[in-house]
Chains A and B, each alone.
Chain A
């Protein structure tokens, strides 16, 4: 007991961080500065500040050559102590993302205050603009961004863009990161596509349906809904078409994918994808009482998806990026000396992909 007392007196208190004296960062944004400026990076932070009536997030910006060095300048603009421990989202302006962001993510990795579950996103034009934007719901931009990305990871087309996943994909030969691409349109903040990263540089993007397919290839995932266009030629015997095209919408989709290397010289991959979902809507009147009609619809849906998968793989091959991680799969199946990202990019161009898609409608009646 006395030891404890003496210890307390001798060591004194730890550095206290009382929450209402802090500016707690929820989001940071990084941009390139204008050409003529001496500094290289413009940092915008979004932090909680206790106000007179309510607590809200306030953006502050400053420029410097390093992202942490900017704190010196930021502290001149804020009355609170800025701390990074509650950081949820880090946004990178597109011009910066095209130049590479690894030096900026590296500093997060070193920081013991934050975990590796921070979401990284790419902002169209500028991150400063994104963090200053007002959204329709009048919610704090930081919270809104976090919830937006989180929801779309859980049940949408965004593969998890956490710092952990990003660094994992970056340092692993044969896998590339993908990040959500966020746009501001008027008073709306939205995820418009996925940014394809080659190492740490953004080199292109995937639209919504491509994003769905890429995420479906990455292990087991859940999706809220997806719309599939069906080829009507072989379905005519089952119904009287009123429109040229036929669409079905699946909801509560569960996908499972299994990637197998079947030829290590080409290399050739066999990708088995199982997709289960409730058929929520169909764009034409089709009598679904017979099992054979449903089977035919499932077959057609699988056909469509298969060709779409092949298209998206062709696109990825021409861009020489590999967000799914076929390279690391190849490496785990074949012992290769000096397997590097560069080698894999050459091999990826020649690789062949064979898809085996199976679609199951678990329910065509009343859906929830």
Chain B
């Protein structure tokens, strides 16, 4: 059975399948491609037109080798492997086969459906390079090469997904990144044989996590090339997945999720103050509602006398215990958040703001919640948005709920118990073997100066960052 017939069988149920043939010098040349997947212009300029114009009298016998020299395309190879041919055809390549030859030509005519580069939408910032990654891997790498044009930049390519056959790139700076970590990452990726589709880098990040049971992300995803370069210079490894506009950085500590690119580009005083503001906002967003619930349910003693009267008045109209009231309002805010993400952007803004105010105000007037609680929950939610990384933002939103329940049942002791649980849990986490809370748990001269606050650029003798590595877990099981 010839290659032609076998390919016809494979693509029998694909309506894009196209096969054209030319009679040249007595032999028939078949050109096979998937319509629309292959680029029309490349196909006609690179294969069809040269075939038509081929000077048939100059050669005695038409061979694939000869044909390869005649077709003006960037990439082309000889192939007779059916699997490879099928795969390449699916990627938009064309197969040129001369009747009765054992081999045919695979020519790259893939169409690039890519959007133009645009500004970072999710991690938008006022300073620094504004461009964001796109879905095309080669473009993303080009952006990276532009910022770090150094031969130390290593890009090793792997293929993942039994069906999707996605290209995954591991990018790191040689002599900067830890070799063990690179090897560990490689072995973890190669152990993922059961994955059929690798559609986004966030999925990959989850598959490569040290601990699946944790609520907190241990790999950082970003859409900003400058952030990736900063990470690479700080000994990190970046992962790119073709088709995903997010790069994944690892290993990371928890503080890096709270960083914004502009911290580093602004004057150091501003940078340090912004980081302090962000840290306190994060602590506030996690604890403020539960502290309110604890104070109003158990610890009336701690309320300042000036506030006491207002608090009694605002809560006396509410028929629910404070814990229920707080949970209700928090769920309402979560609903608003969630729905405003899914809403079309034209409606979303209005709904988010007006809906929040209207629902909140109406709930207070109806005596459903107290206005002080509304203000406190709004404060907490507002604070949680200072985290530019939404994976971490979501985690922080979620841990508020158990804390509220603890505060409503055990009061202040409950908050302390909950906070201790969170801190112990965080202290146990690792990201590629690097302790998640570093440098809080081991402060020494080797730690990253920028991790919690930031260092003054001029005071740094050299830019360095190194992690102490806890022994990584050898075998990785999901």
Stretch at the interface among A8-16, A102-110, A294-302: A8-16
Cross-chain contact A55 with B309 (CB below 8 angstroms): yes
Q: In the complex, how many angstroms separate the beta carbon of A143 from the nearest chain B beta carbon?
A: 7
B463 at the interface (CB under 8 A from A): no
B158 at the interface (CB under 8 A from A): no
B54 at the interface (CB under 8 A from A): no
Cross-chain contact A1 with B421 (CB below 8 angstroms): yes
Cross-chain contact A19 with B305 (CB below 8 angstroms): no
Which one, A13, A55, A88, contacts B313 given CB within 8 A?
A: A55
Q: A156 vs B297: C-alpha distance in the bound complex, in angstroms?
A: 38
B311 at the interface (CB under 8 A from A): yes
Residues B293-333 near A (CB distance < 8 A): 296-298, 300-301, 303, 305, 308-309, 311-313, 315-316, 318, 321-322
Cross-chain contact B409 with A14 (CB below 8 angstroms): yes
Residues A25-67 near B (CB distance < 8 A): 26, 48, 50, 54-55
Cross-chain contact A50 with B316 (CB below 8 angstroms): yes
A318 at the interface (CB under 8 A from B): no
A22 at the interface (CB under 8 A from B): yes
**Contact residues in A for B316 (Cβ distance below 8 Å):** 20, 50, 55
Q: Given A1-B421, A14-B411, A18-B322, answer yes or no on A50-B312 (Cβ-Cβ < 8 Å).
A: yes
The size class of the interface chain B forms with chain A is: 20 to 34
Q: Given A20-B315, A20-B316, answer yes or no on A85-B406 (Cβ-Cβ < 8 Å).
A: no
Q: Given A4-B421, A55-B316, answer yes or no on A18-B309 (Cβ-Cβ < 8 Å).
A: no
Q: Given A1-B421, A4-B417, A19-B303, answer yes or no on A50-B313 (Cβ-Cβ < 8 Å).
A: yes
**Contact residues in B for A48 (Cβ distance below 8 Å):** 308-309, 312
Which one, A16, A54, A55, A146, contacts B305 given CB within 8 A?
A: A146
Residue of B nearest to A48 (CB): B312
Cross-chain contact A13 with B312 (CB below 8 angstroms): no
Q: Given A19-B296, A86-B305, A113-B301, answer yes or no on A55-B421 (Cβ-Cβ < 8 Å).
A: no
Which one, A14, A24, A55, contacts B410 given CB within 8 A?
A: A14
Q: Mark B334-350, 1 if CB is under 8 A from A, else 0.
A: 00000000000000000
Q: In the complex, how many angstroms separate the beta carbon of A53 from the nearest chain B beta carbon?
A: 9
**Contact residues in A for B408 (Cβ distance below 8 Å):** 13
**Contact residues in B for A16 (Cβ distance below 8 Å):** 297-298, 321
Q: Given A4-B417, A50-B312, A54-B313, answer yes or no on A17-B305 (Cβ-Cβ < 8 Å).
A: no
Q: A31 vs B308: C-alpha distance in the bound complex, in angstroms?
A: 28
Q: In the complex, how many angstroms separate the beta carbon of B404 from the nearest chain A beta carbon?
A: 13
Cross-chain contact A20 with B312 (CB below 8 angstroms): yes
Q: A86 vs B410: C-alpha distance in the bound complex, in angstroms?
A: 21
Number of A-B contacts (CB under 8 A): 68
Q: A130 vs B413: C-alpha distance in the bound complex, in angstroms?
A: 39
Q: A50 vs B411: C-alpha distance in the bound complex, in angstroms?
A: 23
Q: Mark A64-105, 1 if CB is under 8 A from B, else 0.
A: 000000000000000000010110100000000000000000
Which one, B315, B410, B421, contacts A19 given CB within 8 A?
A: B315
Cross-chain contact A86 with B321 (CB below 8 angstroms): no
**Contact residues in B for A18 (Cβ distance below 8 Å):** 296-297, 315, 321-322
Q: A194 vs B214: C-alpha distance in the bound complex, in angstroms?
A: 64
Q: A160 vs B311: C-alpha distance in the bound complex, in angstroms?
A: 29
**Contact residues in A for B296 (Cβ distance below 8 Å):** 18-19
Q: In the complex, how many angstroms separate the beta carbon of A27 from the nearest chain B beta carbon?
A: 11
The residue among B296, B301, B315, B405 with the most chain A CB atoms within 10 A of its own CB is B301
Q: A17 vs B315: C-alpha distance in the bound complex, in angstroms?
A: 13
Q: Given A1-B421, A18-B296, A48-B312, answer yes or no on A13-B301 (Cβ-Cβ < 8 Å).
A: no
Cross-chain contact B313 with A17 (CB below 8 angstroms): no
Residue of B nearest to A56 (CB): B309
Q: Mark B265-294, 1 if CB is under 8 A from A, else 0.
A: 000000000000000000000000000000
**Contact residues in A for B413 (Cβ distance below 8 Å):** 14
**Contact residues in A for B321 (Cβ distance below 8 Å):** 16, 18
6 sample A-B contacts, Cβ–Cβ < 8 Å, listed by A number: A13-B409, A13-B410, A19-B315, A24-B312, A86-B303, A114-B301
Q: A8-B406, A55-B316 given. 20 additional CB < 8 A pairs?
A: A11-B410, A14-B409, A14-B410, A14-B411, A16-B298, A16-B321, A17-B297, A17-B298, A18-B297, A18-B315, A18-B321, A19-B311, A20-B312, A24-B300, A24-B308, A26-B305, A55-B312, A83-B300, A85-B300, A86-B305
B residues neighboring A (CB under 8 Å): 296-298, 300-301, 303, 305, 308-309, 311-313, 315-316, 318, 321-322, 405-406, 408-411, 413, 417, 421
Return the 7 tightest CB-CB contacts between A and B, nearest first: A85-B301, A50-B316, A20-B316, A13-B409, A20-B315, A55-B312, A55-B309
